[in-house]
């Protein structure tokens, strides 16, 4: 029996999340697993400095762009097809929900990322993933 | 380049840690990595109900026994040679120290275990491993 059939890697373009992607790609190749790469547009973050709709559109466009780039670079450099996933909501909740719905065997996430301010508001996403949900979590430092 | 060359799995005979061992064994086989299995005798735990020395000896004997059994069962059932490691001190600190000194690429740990009371005193070992240290941590639920 394959230990990992579906791997969900969290990506936000930070150095830590790029390292997480590297591990996820190695595991997906080694276990011949399906690889998803997820970016979540944080909706619960309080926004004062911009119109809320405008802000969400900006972040959504950013997410689409970095996912597209990362999936392309994995295809070019690693010959692996990853599926990009864009969600909106609370980051940890959306990751846990997707992993559950798609029956992922493993979540791979960087220990930092999402920016200092955002982490201040959100708490550590990796800690939440480690504590809640049923899916094994690999935390990359 | 192999992603994982040295894997450190934490074991305390709990159901969760047994699941962690299963993942660690699969990864060690798949990546042809060296596998360590560690049990830490918690020394910082306050003991009132027994003589301290007597208590530590009991826990140490327990650790030795479960490590021996687990290593033997991995050898018999999985044809993999794991190295048992017994340490004394603070559980998370000793695991992080060993991983650093031996240059492990990965720590595999159950999200629970070590008993409800001990966790109350210690906090969650997996959370500490996820937060401190530099080694990637795989947390099994």
CB A53 within 8 A of CB A100: no
> Is A59 part of any domain?
yes
Q: Which residues lie below 8 Å from residue A131, measured CB to CB, with a gap of 6+?
A: B111, B124, B127
Domain that holds residue B99: 6-140
> Is A12 part of any domain?
yes
Partner-chain residue, chosen from A30, A127, A140, that has the shortest CB–CB distance to B131? A127
* B60 pLDDT above the threshold of 80: yes
> Is B58 part of any domain?
yes
pLDDT, tens digit, 9 for 90 and up, residues B5-49: 999 999 999 888 999 999 999 999 999 999 999 999 988 766 666
Q: What is the CATH classification number for the domain harbouring B40?
A: 3.40.50.620
> Is B46 part of any domain?
yes
SS3 annotation, A53-109? HHHHHHHHHHHHHHHHHHHHHHHHHHCCCEEEEEEEECHHHHHHHHHHHCCCCEEEE
Place of tokens 């070019």: A76
Kindly determine whether residue B131 and residue A131, on different chains, have CB atoms separated by under 8 Å: no
CA Rg value for chain B = 15
Q: Name the band, by pLDDT with cuts 50, 70 and 90, for residue B88.
A: very high
Kindly determine whether residue B139 and residue A130, on different chains, have CB atoms separated by under 8 Å: yes
User: A140 to chain B: which residues are within 8 Å by CB?
Assistant: 136
Taking the model in full, what pTM does it have?
0.90
Q: A-B interface: how many C-beta pairs under 8 angstroms?
A: 54
Give A128→chain B minimum CA distance, Å.
10
Mean pLDDT of chain A: 89
Q: Name the band, by pLDDT with cuts 50, 70 and 90, for residue B67.
A: very high
> Is A1 part of any domain?
no
Nearest residue to A88 (alpha-carbon basis) of A55, A116, A112, A115:
A55
pLDDT, tens digit, 9 for 90 and up, residues A72-86: 999 999 999 999 999
Nearest residue to B92 (alpha-carbon basis) of B109, B77, B75:
B109
CB B24 within 8 A of CB B108: yes
DSSP secondary structure letter of residue B102: T
User: B133 to chain A: which residues are within 8 Å by CB?
Assistant: 141
Kindly determine whether residue B30 and residue A30, on different chains, have CB atoms separated by under 8 Å: yes
C-alpha to C-alpha distance for B2 and B9, rounded to whole angstroms: 18
CA Rg value for chain A = 15
User: B126 to chain A: which residues are within 8 Å by CB?
Assistant: 130
> Is B1 part of any domain?
no
How crowded is residue B2: how many other Cβ atoms within 10 Å of its Cβ?
10
Number of independent structural domains in chain A: 1
Partner-chain residue, chosen from A26, A30, A130, that has the shortest CB–CB distance to B111? A130
What pLDDT does A27 receive? 97
pLDDT, tens digit, 9 for 90 and up, residues A28-75: 999 999 999 999 998 876 666 667 788 889 899 999 999 999 999 999
> Is B87 part of any domain?
yes
């Amino acid at each position: 029996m394959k230990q990992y059939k579906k791997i969900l890697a969290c990506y936000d373009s930070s150095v830590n999340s790029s390292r997480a992607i590297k591990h996820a790609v190695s595991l997906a190749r080694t276990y011949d697993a399906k690889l998803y790469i997820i970016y979540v547009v944080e909706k619960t973050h309080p926004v004062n400095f911009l119109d809320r709709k405008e802000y969400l559109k900006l972040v959504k466009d950013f997410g689409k762009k970095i996912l597209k780039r990362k999936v392309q670079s994995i295809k070019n450099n690693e010959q692996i097809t990853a599926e990009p996933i864009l969600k909106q909501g609370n980051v940890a909740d959306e990751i846990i929900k997707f992993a559950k719905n798609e029956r992922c065997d493993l979540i791979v996430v960087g220990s930092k990322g999402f920016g200092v301010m955002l982490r201040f508001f959100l708490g550590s996403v990796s800690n939440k993933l480690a504590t809640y949900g049923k899916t094994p979590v690999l935390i990359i430092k």
